Structure formats: structure tokens, C-alpha cells
Structure 1
Amino acid sequence: MRRFKFKSIQARTLLTLLPIVIIALVGISVLSYQFAKEKLNTEINTNANNTLIGLNESLNSQLKQNSMIVSSLAAATGELGNNLDIADYFKLTERWQMLSPFTYGVGIFFAENQYEQGVKYRSAYAIRDGDKITTTTEYDDPAYDYLTQPYYTATLNNFDKIYYTEPFTDSVSKIKMITAGKTIRNNDGQVLGVALADISMNNIRDYVNNLKIGTAGRAILVSGKGEVLASGRPEIVADMPLKDEKIEGMDTVANLINKNQTGRTVVNIQGELNTVFYMTVQETGWKIAVVLPDSEIQQPTQELLHILIIVGAIGIIIISAAILWNNIGMIRETRKVVEVSRKMAVGDYSARLSNQRADEFGQMANEFNKVLESTSGIMNHLNQQSTMIQNAATEIAQDSTMAATDAGHNVKELQQMESGAELQLKAADESTVAMEEMAIGVQRIAESVQEVSEATVIIEQKAEQGNQHLNKAVQQIDRAKEVMDEAGRMAASLNERSQQISSIIDMIQSINKQTTLLALNASIEAARAGEAGRGFAVVASEISNLANNVGDSARLITEQIVSMQAETSAVVNGMKDGSTQVTDGIIMLEDTKQMFASISGDIESVAGEIQEVSSASEQMSAGAEEVTASLNNLADIAKSSAVRAASATERSTQQSQSLQQLQASAQSLDAVSDALNELISKFRT
């Protein structure tokens, strides 16, 4: 791997230290950013969750206060019973209405005939209008019929527990509200009616809508049935189910808060990630949620990242400036050393470094000046010694010139001798090689001629013997063919005789059949003759036995004749195959004769080759004569070389004397060199 070379200390420092500083600052910034990001996210999530808890507690507190009003009003009305007139009940509702500014209206609704016999509807209802409290009897209208209203009937059915209705719009006040109701009982436990405390949804909506978490976080209040009661997000429409809102992601939020009492999740709403915190309002079962955009959560971390980038950039600039400022002094001192070194390189040792620093550069200047002074002294001494060396060198040069002249003549003579010797050596080598090759060639030719001659005689003998053997073979094959033809004729005759014997056997078998039939007839007649024909019966029996013996013999003869016929046929077929093979042999012998004729032609060709060999021998004889001439030339060259060698010997003697004088001068130069080496050995390289 090739090492990178820097052109200046400034570049080396910046390219080595600055990346390390940048990496360190980036690493510190990244770690700070990650740590701060986690802390800020945790803090923001905690604040959002605390805001949600605070909102929930605030709503629960208002609702509990409302519940306390209706509970205490029901208890007070039960204690008083129906002994008061309607004006006193109005005062009672006004007094309880003043307990909570959050409560819209407080009322007492008597059951039928419980306020007064024969009075079906009687109520006392106090309404808050800002700081003013008014009363009304509009709910006593029979057309309204509060006895059948859901808040009334559901409160009675809930026994003595406080019942909260779902949000509804009151047909009398035209205000959307929720009602908390509780059954009024007297000391005897008799139901007198219900006490009500109404909360206007406008107050709740204003409270929820005005709630902000950060800059973009908003709250959403959802009823137990999933209907939006209030929302700080203007795109969410109130009084409709949250899941039916035409906003991307709101159906997911609706499903989550409907299934769980409390929790936290991240949902993509209208293409932007939002963190949703939600809880349940215990008094009513409502769900309140805080929707906080991730951009709101990430904003502090982004601002922190920008600050870290700016601080890091400023830090890099400051560090780079510090490095550059620190390097300026180092570079200045280094350039001084470089300038003095350049003067030393051209032989000027008079320059000195200024010493105004107490650091390492100042120490280096002192030591460098010492080196310059020591070197200057050495150079002066060397100058003196070099003069002596120059004088000695002049004498050596003169002697060397004379020696070089003589040596030049010797070189020329010796070069000529060397050239002649090389020619002589080359000619001798060529002659030797040529003679060896000729000797080998002649020997091989002689051997080849002898072998060819012997082979020719043998081939002629073998050809003659082959012709003789062929003639004998032809004669033997002709005789064998005659014998096989005669045997074939005899086998054919034997086959004809066997056919004749077959006809005779057929005749014998016919006679045998007739004899057997005759013996049978004789036996029959003898039997008819009785005692007179007994002797004839014996004769007939013998004839019958004779006929049987003749029949058996005829069968045996027939079997032998059939076997003989088969063997005769095989012999005849073999004779035919043998005759065919003999014919093929005769053809092969004719081919062999032709081969021997070809051999005779080859023998004639070999005789021609022998003639060519004789011609080659004559050429080799001529080559031998050329070799003799080359050897004579070598002798002449050798004589000339001997004369030049004598002249070179004389000049070499004179050169030897000059070299002795040169040796004396060299000894003097050696002494001077020893002195110089002693001075130079004081330096360490």
C-alpha cells in the first residue's frame, strides 16, 4: 500500500486532527441528540398524559359536585316531605343551584298526587343565567309530561342511585344537556319524586374545545355510545358518532377507545402520525382523548438537532482556527530550518538559526547551530587535506597516462591475437566436427551397404525357396483335389447302392407281410381241421416265427441302411466343401506368386540405392580435402600470433615499471585517505 505524502505540516495537521475532531463532535452531538430526544419525548408524553388526567379529574370533579348537589337536594326534600308550598321549593332549588357554577339547572319533580292530592304535575326548577338565577314552572305543562321523560323514568328505575342520562336537547330550554337524577323518598321510604341537576353541554364543550396541549394537541370527548360530545379539532363534527367522521384514521381511534378503558396508541390521521391518549370519565362512562401530532412531539428534538448542528459547526470552526493559529508558529520555525538546510545543500555553512524560543523549536535551533559549527570546522580540515590529495592525484594522473598509452598498444595487439586465436579455434572446432561427422557418416554408410548387400542375398534365397515351396504346394493341392473328386464319386456311388438296398428291403418287408398272412391263414385252417391239421398248425407256427424273424432282420437292416445313407450324404457334402476350399487355396497361391514378383522388383530398387550411397562416399572424400586446407590455414595464423605475442611481452615489461611508480603515489594517497576517514568517523549517520 502506497503511503500518502503530505506537502505541508498545515495539510497534515488539518487532514489528521480535523477528521478526528469532527467525528468526536458528531458522535457527541448524536449521543446528546438521542438522549435529549428520549428525555423530551418522555417529558412531552408525560405532560400530555398529565393533561389528560387533569382534564379527566376536572370533569369528574364537576360531575361529582353535580352529583353531590342532586344527592343532597333529594335528601333535603325527603326530610321536608310535602309540607312546604311551591315557593319554598323554589327557594330550595335556588339555594342548591348556587353551590356550583358548572351546573345549569336544579329541579324537584314530584310524582303524581305527591305534592298535593289531585295535582299530577308539580315542579320547582332553578336556572343559572350567568351570575343570575331564575326559576320556572314551564315543566308543569301537561303537554311536556315530565312523568314520561327518560330522565324521570330512568331515575326511578335506578332506585336510590344517581343516574346520568346521555346528552339530549331539552324541548323547553332548547339546550343540549345531561341530567343527573336521584329518587326523593320521605322518612317512610315513600317515593315523592326525583331531584335533578342538569349540566349544559355548552359549558363542557367550551371547556374541552379551549383545552390545548402544546401548540397542536387537542382533546376529544366521546359519549358512552361513541357520539362526539366536544372536540378541539375543528374538522371533527360534534353530535355524530366518532367512527362515522369522514377523517382518515378516526375509525381506528373510535374502535380503540370503545374497547379499552384507558391507554395510548399511535394512529395515522390524515396522513400524519398522532399519539392518542385516552381515559374513561368514571361518573358518566364517557371517553376523553388527547390527540397529539408527532410533529409536535418531534419539534423540540428537531430544534435541539438544529442547535447541535450549529454548535458543532461553530466548534469545528473554532478548533480549526486554533489548529491553524498553533501551526503558524510551528511552520515559521520549520521554514527557517528548511532555508538553512537549503544553504547547507549548496555548501554554505555560514548561516545560523535565530534562537528566541524556549520550547522544543528553540532547543532544536541550539543543537542545529552546534552541528553547523562542528561541520564548518570539519570542512576546513577537509579542504586542506583535499589539496594534498589533489597534488598526489596529479602525479598519479601523469603516470597513469603513460601506462594507459602502453596499455592501449598492448590491448590492440592482444585484441588481434585474440581475434586470430578465435579464428583458429573456430576453424579447429569446425574441422573437428566435420571430421567426426564424416567418420560417423562413412561408418554408417559402410554398415548400411554391408547390411543391404546381405539382406539382398537373403531375400533372393528366400524368394527362390518361396517359389519352390509354392510349386510343391500347388502340386500337392492338385493331387488332393483329384483324391477328393474320386472320393466324391465313390460316395455318390455308395449312395446309389444304398438306395438300391432300400428297394430290396422294401421287397423283403412285403414278402414278410405275405408270409405272416399265409401263416395266419394256415393256423386258421389247421384249427378247422382239428386233430388232422395239428401237424400243419406246427408248420404254420414255424412259418409265422420265421416271418417275424425276417421282419425283425429287415427292420435292423433298414435302420443300418438309413444311418449309412445319412453318413454318406454328410461325406458327399464334406467333399463338396473341401473341393471349394481347395479352389480358394489355389487362388491364394496365385496371389502369393504375385507378391514374390513384387519382392523381386524391390530388390532391384535396393540395388539403385546402393549406387547412390557410393556417390555420397565420393562427396565425403572431397570434404576431407577441404578440412586439410583449413588445417594448413590454422598453422599460418598460429605463426603470426606468436610474433605479436613477443611484441606484447616487451611492452608489458615497460608497463610494469610505470605501475611501480604509480604504486608509490597510491600509498601516499592512502595515508591521506586514512586521515579523512578518521575525521568522518566522528559523524553518525
Structure 2
Amino acid sequence: MTLLTLFIQTSLYTKSRVESLMQQELPTNLAYLGAEVALELAPSIHLSRSLANNPLIERWVKEGSPDAELTAVSDEMAKTFQDLSFASVFFVVNDGEEIDYYYFSNTLKTAKLVESNFDDAWYFEYLNSMKPYELNLDSNEFTGDSLQMFVNYSGSKINHLGQPMIIGGVGLDMQKLADLISNYRLGEQGRASLANHQGLVEVNSNNSIITDLTTTPELESLLGHKGQVVKQVTYQGQELFLGVVWLEDLQRYLVVEVPLSEFMTPIKQQFYKSLFLGGLFLLASLILLYPLAVSLSRPLVKFQQQLSDITLSLDLSKRLETSDQAELGDLASQINSLLKRIEQAISGVLVSSEELTSTATHLAQTAGLVGRNTDKQQEVSQTMAAAVEQMSSSVAEITSTMEELSASSTQIADHSQSVVEVANLTLDSSKKGADAMQNLQERMGDIHQDSANSLQEIIQLGSKSKEISKVMDLINTLADQTKLIAFNAALEASSAGESGKRFSVVASEIRRLADSVTDSTHEIEDRIQEIQDSISRLVITSEKGADSIQLGMQVSSETAEDLNALVQAASKTSNAAQQISLSTKQQKTASGQVVVALHDIASASSHNAESVRNITDVSESMLKMSQQLTELVHEFKVKR
């Protein structure tokens, strides 16, 4: 438990320490170091801007950079150089034709910048970047092999090419900035370094592990972020806590690396120290607890001996004795109570075993096991066996007789059931015939009604045809009058001469139409006469069919009465057959019940004989068991 507690505590402390480092310490130190670097660079950026917009230099450039005033310009640069002890001061003049570079470090030096010169590439790259300022770690022919952090700042004046006329700045001694970064410590092994935008470390301490942030994908993922990034990475087989922040003023990445081992070593040392102290404490506890354990175990040993003595002797009158008043004393009291109850139970069992022995002996005497040689017991045994055999023989004869009677009852019941089925079929057929005749009467009534309706409609049709004849007479009369009018109109048209020719044509057409109407009415009259003749014949036929239907209805009514009488007779026959079948079934059931009862009596007789033998066996077993129980109970010692 001590080891587990220390391990859990160490794990929790390690987790808490790592979370504190990644969420608080490392971000705070990154921000603090970044602020210090920015504070170190702030004067350089400010003076570079002042130099790029210096009125004296601007006026000198506008005047064509005369050599006569170059001393004044050199003095202005020396003043700036001495104010904050920079490594160098410089500015570039670009009038659109030539590019002149002025460098001051104790003395003024000049040079021409051309794009084809590799050493001058920094200037043209800065122009292409269009940034207001930048920081460039570089060296040139004036600095020699020593690197300087040049602050390039664009002035506000623009030449005719749209480029800054003056770019001024200062060169910082990287040693001071490198000392600031390399002297930084987070813990004992935490180091800081400065990397450019491509991830290459430019400034670091001697013990820094990471020299390039692009060597592994895990490190490369830290690039491209403008804010803080804190991550646990593995580099060259070593676990590191890595913090990266982008310094906008410096245009560089500030990198802080802390080995994981620096945090784990103190924690492990503390774990081993705690483990050692815990072991000492445990050993001291064992030494102190040994006498107490001995004093506590002594009553238990005595307690165990007393229980062993009771177990071996089976003397339930003995009790446990102890001077302890705590849990052991309570246990002894409960065991004594248990022994007392067991003693009472054994005493009761002893009394019961004696009674069981007496009962078993009495049962054995009843079954004939005791005193088998006496004449009385033999007589009892013989009487019981004879009674059982005589009862079994009588039951066998009665069972045989009742089985024959049951077989006869079964045949009668089967035949009566056949009669019932035939009677039921007759009754069903009679009911179906009565129902069919009833449906026939209903259909004959419907036919009679339909025939009467048809006859009535035929008569009405004849009346209508006569009315049509009257209408046709009227049409013929109108046609005749129309022809007469047309004839008169023709006479009048002929007397009218030329003016009546047209009217004559109309009169002629009217007369021709009247003739056509007359011919059509004659044909219609002929057809109507034929229809009337057919209607007359149909009326006669319908009257005959109605008489036949009426006769059929009378015959079907008489047949229906006969079928109803047949149904009533079949119903009475079916009821009588069912009563006979029910009686025979009851007789069959009673016979079967009697046979079953006789079989039960026979089985009971056999069972009684078997029971007598079982009683004998049970009596012998009970005698043996009672003897064994008595011997077992007598092994316990109880108070009488």
C-alpha cells in the first residue's frame, strides 16, 4: 500500500508538474523573453526610422549628394553611432540611377550596390518584399567575418521609380543579443534559441539540442504559427518540452527547449527518498507492533485449545473460559450459548431415539418380525395373507364379467350412434328440402309479380301506340292541308308571272315535303299496327303464363306442407335416436367406470400385499436405524 500510494502520488505530481510547465511556466517565460528581446530591439528600430527620415540626409540627397557636405553627414551618423553604442550605422541612397551605400563604424565608408553582386542581394530582396522594415543577419566587406543584425528601414521619400530614396538603419552587435538569449535558463537545462522564418537556428547557447526546426515533421509543424505553440516532442531519442513564439519585430522564431529528464529526475529522487522513509517507518511499526501482536494472540491460543478439548471429548457440558472482555470475550459467550443449545438438542434427540426404538419394535411385532415362532403371530400372518389372496381372486372374477358387459355396451352404443347419424342426416335433408321449397315459393311469387307487372306495361304500351296513331292521323291531316296550300300557292305564283317564279319554286318544295311526310306517316302507321298486333299476342301469352305460374304456386305450397310434416317426423325420430344413444353411452361409461374401479381394487389388493412386505422391510430398517442413532447419541456427554 505504501508503494502504491507513493507511485500514485508521484504520477499525479508528475502530471500536474507537466501541465503546469506546458500551460503556465513555458508560455510565461516565452512571453517574458520575447518582451525582453523586443525591448532590446525597440531603440534600434526607432533610430533606424529616424535615420531613414533624417532631414539633413534628405536635404543632402536632394542637393545631389555633394562631397562638400559629406563631413556633416558623417558627423550625423557618428552622433547616432555613439548614442546607443551600435556596431554600425548605415544608409543607402537610391536616386533612380545609382545606388550608393554609406557605412559608418568609427569611420565612414562608401560603396556602390549592384544587383549582380551576391553580397548586395540583401538590398534588392528587401525592396521586393515591400516591408516598412526588416531585420537581416548578415555580414559584408566592412564587417568582416563578424555577423551583425542589420535593421533596414525605408524612408518616406520615393524616387521616380517608386522605390524608397533612402533606406537607413543600424547594425546590432549580435553578441549582446546572443548573450541575452544564450544566458536564458528555465530550470537548470532549459535553453533558448533564435530561428529565422525558414526554421534555421541562428542564435543559441552551447548546450542547445535543436539547431533546425525542419529536420523532423513534428518540429516542422511548429512553424507558420504567429502565436505561441507549446508541445512535447521527441528529438534524437530525447523527450523535450518545446515552446515557439513568432517575434514580429525581430522577424524570427524564439524557441525555448526544456528536457523532460530535468523534471523527472527530482521527482524520481523524491520518490526514492519517500520510499526509503516509508520502509523505515514500516520496519519501526513492525518492531513496535510485535509485542502487541503476541499479547493479542495468547488468549486466542488458549481459546483454540479449549475448543480442541471439547471437539475431541464431545463433552457438551464444558464451557469456554477467557478473561478478555472485548471481541474475544463476546465470541466465547456466543460459543457457550451455542454449546448449550446443542446440548439441549442432543438430549432431545436421545429421548426421541428411545421413543423411535420403542415404536420400531411395536411395528416389527405388528408386521410379524418379533416373536415369529409364536402360534399367535403365525396365525395373524396367515390370516392377512389369505384375506389378501381371496380378495384378489374375487376381484379378478368380477373384473372379467364386467369387461364382457362393457364390450356389449360398447357395441350397443356404436349401433345406436349409427342410428342417430342416419336420423340426423334424414332431418338435415328434410330441412334442406323444406328450405329449398320455401325459396321456390318465394321465387314463384316474384315471377308472378314480375309477370303481372309485365302485362300491365304491355297494356300501357298498347295504349301509347293507339295515341301515336292519333298523332299520325293529325300529321296526315296537316300534310294534306299543306299540299292544298302549296297547290294554291303555285296557282297564285303562276298568275303573278315573272315575279312569282321564285315563290312557285318554294311552293313546289313545300308540296314535295308534304308528300314525303305523308309517305313517312303511312310507313309509321304500318309499323305501329304491327306493334299493336304483337302487343295483343303478347298480352294473350302473358295471361296464359300467369295462369300457369298461379297453378305452380299452388302445387309448390302443397309440396311445402308435405315437406314440413316430413321434417317434424324426422325431428322426432332424431330425438328418439339421440335418447337411445345417450342411454347406451351412459351404460357404457358406467360399465367402464366399474371396470376401472375393479382394476383399482385389484391394484389396491396387490399394493396391500406389497405394503405388508414393505412394512416388514421398513420395520427392520427402523430397528437398525434406531440402534445406530442410540449408539451415536450416546457418544455425546450431556447432563441428565
Give the TM-score normalised by the residue count of structure 1: 0.38
Which entry has the higher C-alpha Rg, 1 or 2?
1
Give the TM-score normalised by the residue count of structure 2: 0.40
